[in-house]
Every structure is written in structure tokens, then in C-alpha cells.
Structure 1
Amino acid sequence: MTQGRSIRLFLVDGSPNGLLTAEIMNWTGHALTGPRTKLTELVQRPECGRTGIYFLVGPDPENTLRPLVYIGESDDVAKRLKQHNRPESQGGKDFWERVCLITSKDQNLTKAHVKYLESQLIGQAIKSGRCGLVNGTAHDYSVLPESDQADMAFFTEQIRTILPVLGFEFFRDPSGTKLTGSGDASAISPLFELEIPKYEIRAQAQEVDGDFVVLKGSHARVKWAGSQKGYANLFDQLVQDGVLMEGPTGGRVFSRDHGFSSPSAAAAVISGRSANGRTKWTLVGKKQTYGDWQNELVSAEAPETE
């Protein structure tokens, strides 16, 4: 069973749309986030005068499916944020609407630590494919002692844990790494399949840690054939990212495991049109639909009472 975690959230000004701090029990890190409209208040916080790593997040006008992100570091975050708030013509950045900064409560993060964190997090953001990265490429910074690298690896995992709680999903791994057998087996579902004989399509998937993960080697339609609404943009994005590659028989093949937000999103991309994943996906060997399987689990855990 996966061990629970305790995260403390604090609404600085009492508003869910204002400044928010977050801490994980037994972690020296401290997160502060807020909208750009609250930047005046944010840069006056004591955290902003410390050494830390920060994320600027905003919409991507060329891709509505994922945000634009800039990852930076500084030993005076307030100063850097003031620079980023300038117009682009003056060296600033216009795209961002929210900011999140990570510092240390014991102030033991050094310039070398945050440069290493920046390098590691840029690489992980590129790997996740869940955002457009303004930074471009990751800097290779690995001059920390081995013990410090181990500490920063732990620090990075806490950042990856706390950011989704704050609404930032761009570090979540879409490839379903838990399928390899590591982690909590109870977080992985049985194997499901989806078949469309007319197009020689057969795909397999598992539900992993909240994502519906289609497995590498699964087949999909060669192009989107449905309405341009729905998941058409997602299909095109996966083709562009190289997740959906041209297959040897004329269709497309998943080049790696890929996590979707729901069974229906996965079924739509595979089918090339809108599809109800709760009925299209069936348990391998049983032909029980995903919807019936899930309902059976829920009913078993919470039986109806008269």
C-alpha cells in the first residue's frame, strides 16, 4: 500500500486565487505560488529574498493542450522576478500568468544546489512532454559532490510531489513508469484491450496512478477521422511529439507508453474519432468493459445498504 503524505497549504490572504504556501511534512522545502497580478505582494515575502528555483507558467497560444513554462534559479528570486516582469522589449517575459518558487526553510540551498536543480528539472520537463519549455535545452550541471546530488534527488522528488497539488502538472511522467514493476502494485489495474478489426487495430492499456496508460506497441488510426472538436488536437500533438509513429501496415503505433487523462481520451486517439472508453476498453480474456470492472470494484468496497 502506498504511504500517505501530509501537505500543509496556507492561503496567505485568505483567498484561493491569491498567494498560497505549501509544505510537506519532514521536508525542508517551501513552496510559494500566486498569480502575476499578486506579484507586488509576492516579491515582498521573505522567501523571495532566498536562494531558490522558480517556475513561470502561462498559456501557449500555439497549443491549448499544455502550458508554456520557464524554469529558473537565483540567489535573489525577487530580483529575478522583477526582471521577468518587464516587457519583452526590455528583457522581460510576457507569456506567464502564474509563478511558483521553491526555497528551503533552513536556507541551506546554495547557488550550486539550485543550478543543479534547474538542470535536472529542465531535463525532466522535456522528458514529460506536458509543457512547452521556454528555456529550450537543459544545461548540463553536475559538479555537486555525490552526497549533495543524493540530497537534491530527494529534493526534486518532493518538488514533483507538491507541484501537482498546486495545479502544475508539467512534471508528471506520461509514460507509466510504474508498469515496470516498481512502486505500489495496488496502483496498477489489470490489462485492458481495445480492438477495431476493420482497421487491424489492437491496443492494450492499464490504469496507473490515476492515468490511463496505453502501452508501447499499441495500434491507432493513421489519421484523425472524426470532428475537429474533442481530441483531434491531442491526436495531432501525439503525432508531432513522435508518440504516434507510422506503422508497418499503414496505421500508427505507440512508440512508448503514454498516459491519458481518461479511458475515453485514449480510446478516441486510438479510434481516430470520439469514443466512450468505458465501453470500448475490455478486460483481456474476460471481455468485461472498463465501466463494469470499475463499478464492480466500487460496489465491492462500498456495498449498498438498505
Structure 2
Amino acid sequence: MSVGKSVRLFLADGTPGGLLTAEIMNWTGHVVAAPRSDLAALLKRPEASRTGIYILLGDDPESLGRQLAYIGEGDNVSRRLYQHARPENQNGKDFWDRAIVLTSKDVNLTKAHARYLESRFITLAQNAGRARLTNGTTPPPITLPEADVSDMEYFIEQAKIVLPVLGVNIFRSSVTAMPAPQDETATTQPDSPLFEMKLKKFGIVATAREVDGEFTVIEGSAARLKWTGDEEHSYTTLRAKLEQDGTLVPTPDGSVMRFTRSHVFASPSAAAAIVAGRSANGRITWLVKGTGTTYGQWQDQGIEEAMQLEANDE
């Protein structure tokens, strides 16, 4: 059973789209996030003058639904952010519209710690494949004492919990987060079972799991060779993007497409459409492997029981 976490958010100006802070109980780390329009307010905060890590985020114009990101570190993060706020022709960066700053409440992060964290976060973002990094290089992790490495890895694990709460998903890896339940056909276990979608006529089998609330098609799954549905459908752009970035490639015999990596979809229906090459209802086309239970039925399990318990308590 997973252990619950209490994440404390503070909206500095009282609006959800403005500057906010986030922290976890008993974690020395501290996160501040702000849109670029609130950069001045961010630079005035005491956290910004500390040693830490910063992440710059913006939309990637070359890829549907993905982001551009830059990950850096500094003894005084505010100075680095000020430099990046300059125009491109003054060695600044124009792409970003949001900044995230990670520091320590106890002010114990050193320059060496920050360099270690920078390298590790860059590697995590590269492995997750959810954003295109604009970093020119990937600095190797510096050598730290064993105790410091343990502390920094704990810092990273807590940051990976807080950041998705703020909508920062660039470090979430569908592969490393993939649960491996003992009984893949069980439908009552807390983790997602393995879902399967078959197109017997074309010899296509695709598998997926719901990982941390996201529907993830697993590497090696098959899909229709071409899109056969309405050419004006919104999923045609997604299909083209997956082929362009190498997520979907033809098999050697050219009969079907194959997923070269696990991919997170916005919904089970989006995943089903890419596999089927046309519109499809993911709630009924994805089945728990080895059973006739649909994804929709799996989602709804326990609802009747919960409502019955509520009725009995009244």
C-alpha cells in the first residue's frame, strides 16, 4: 500500500495562475513556481537568492503537446533567472513562460549539491522523454560523499512528488513507474492491471497500464500500419507526431506499426484510436488481460459497494 503525502500549496497572490510555493511535511526542500509575467516577484523572494535548481518551461512549437525545458543551477538562482530573461540576442532565452525554483528551507544546499541535482534532473528528463531539453550539454554527476548522495536522491524523490502537483510532468517516467502486479488478470488489486487491445484481423495486440493516473501504452505494442479514419480527426495530428518522432515505426515486414517506447496518452480512447487507426472508444476496447472486463468496468468497480455502504450509514 502506498503511503500518503501532504503537499502544502500557498498561492502568494491568491490566484491559481500566479506565483505559488509548495512543500512536503518533513522535507527540507522548497519549491516556488511562477509565470514569466511574475518573474519580478519571484526574483524578490528570499528563496531565489539561495543555491538551488531552476527549470524553465515553454511550449515546443515542433511537437504537439510537448514542452521545451531548460534545467540549470546557481549559487544565486535569481541572477541566473535574470540572465535568462534577457532577449535571445543578449544571450537570454525567449522560449520559456514559466519558471520553477527548487531550494532548501534549511539553506544547506551547497554548490556541489546543486551541480549533482542539475545533472540528475537532466538525466531524468531525458529518460522520461516528455520534454525537449535546450541544455547544450549533460554534465556528469560530481562525486559526493555517500551520505550526501543519499540526501540528494531523497531530495529528488520528494521533488518528483511535488512537481506533478504543480503540473510539471517532465520527470515522470512511464517505464520506471510501471507496476508489476503478481496477478496480471486480477481486477481488484490496487495497482492497474495489464490491459490488452486486439485487432485479430490484422494480427495486432497492444498492451497498456494506467500508471499514476495516466494511460500508458507499453513499448512493443502493435498498431495499424496507417490511419484509416477521418482525415480531419484531431488524432491524425497525434498519429503523425508519433511517427515523426520515432515512437511508431513499421515492423521489418511492413505489416503493422510498433511502439518503440512506452507512451502516455491523454485518455484510453486516444490510445485506442492510435492503435486502431481510427476513432475508438477506449473504455470498451481495452480489456483486462485474460478477462472480458473492459477498462470502463475496471474503473467503475467498487462504486456500487461504496454507495451501498453510504446508504447503510444514513
Above 0.5 in TM-score?
yes
Structure 1 equivalent of residue 215 of structure 2? 212
Structure 1 equivalent of residue 278 of structure 2? 273
| Structure 1 outlier segments of 4+, above 4 Å | none
The 8 Å contact of residues 54 and 72 in structure 2, kept in 1 or not, is answered as yes
1:79 deviates by 0.8
CA distance 1:165–1:93, change in 2 (3 Å): same
Distance in 1 (alpha carbons) for counterparts of 2:192 and 2:306: 15
- For residue 246 of structure 2, what is the amino acid of its counterpart? G
CA distance 1:142–1:302, change in 2 (3 Å): farther
Is 1:231 aligned to 2:235, yes or no? yes
CA distance 1:223–1:176, change in 2 (3 Å): farther
- For residue 163 of structure 2, what is the amino acid of its counterpart? L
1:187 deviates by 4.3
Structure 1 equivalent of residue 107 of structure 2? 107
Structure 2 equivalent of residue 80 of structure 1? 80
Deviations along 1:178-236, one digit per CA (max 9) or x if unpaired, are 33459xx9542223221112322111222222122323332111233333542333333
CA distance 1:21–1:186, change in 2 (3 Å): farther
Structure 2 equivalent of residue 29 of structure 1? 29
Say what the alpha-carbon RMSD is for the aligned residues: 2.1
Aligned pair count? 304
The 8 Å contact of residues 203 and 215 in structure 1, kept in 2 or not, is answered as yes
1:137 deviates by 4.0
- For residue 291 of structure 2, what is the amino acid of its counterpart? K
After TM superposition, the score normalised by the length of structure 1 is 0.92
* Structure 1 residues without counterparts, runs of 5 or longer: none
Indicate the percent of aligned positions where both proteins have the same amino acid. Answer: 51
Match of 2:191 among 188, 193, 200: 188
Structure 1 equivalent of residue 118 of structure 2? 118
Structure 2 equivalent of residue 148 of structure 1? 148
Match of 1:300 among 305, 310, 314: 305
The 8 Å contact of residues 214 and 266 in structure 1, kept in 2 or not, is answered as yes
Is 1:202 aligned to 2:202, yes or no? no
Is 1:245 aligned to 2:236, yes or no? no
1:172 deviates by 1.0
The 8 Å contact of residues 187 and 208 in structure 1, kept in 2 or not, is answered as no
Q: Which moved more, 1:215-224 or 1:84-93?
A: 215-224
Distance in 1 (alpha carbons) for counterparts of 2:276 and 2:176: 21
Distance in 2 (alpha carbons) for counterparts of 1:186 and 1:52: 40
CA distance 1:189–1:231, change in 2 (3 Å): same
Is 1:5 aligned to 2:8, yes or no? no
CA distance 1:181–1:280, change in 2 (3 Å): closer
- For residue 305 of structure 2, what is the amino acid of its counterpart? A
- For residue 294 of structure 2, what is the amino acid of its counterpart? T
- For residue 106 of structure 2, what is the amino acid of its counterpart? D
- For residue 265 of structure 2, what is the amino acid of its counterpart? F
Distance in 2 (alpha carbons) for counterparts of 1:149 and 1:113: 9
1:171 deviates by 1.0
Is 1:172 aligned to 2:172, yes or no? yes
Distance in 2 (alpha carbons) for counterparts of 1:111 and 1:88: 27
1:170 deviates by 1.0
The 8 Å contact of residues 176 and 208 in structure 1, kept in 2 or not, is answered as no
Distance in 2 (alpha carbons) for counterparts of 1:24 and 1:97: 25
The 8 Å contact of residues 53 and 73 in structure 1, kept in 2 or not, is answered as yes
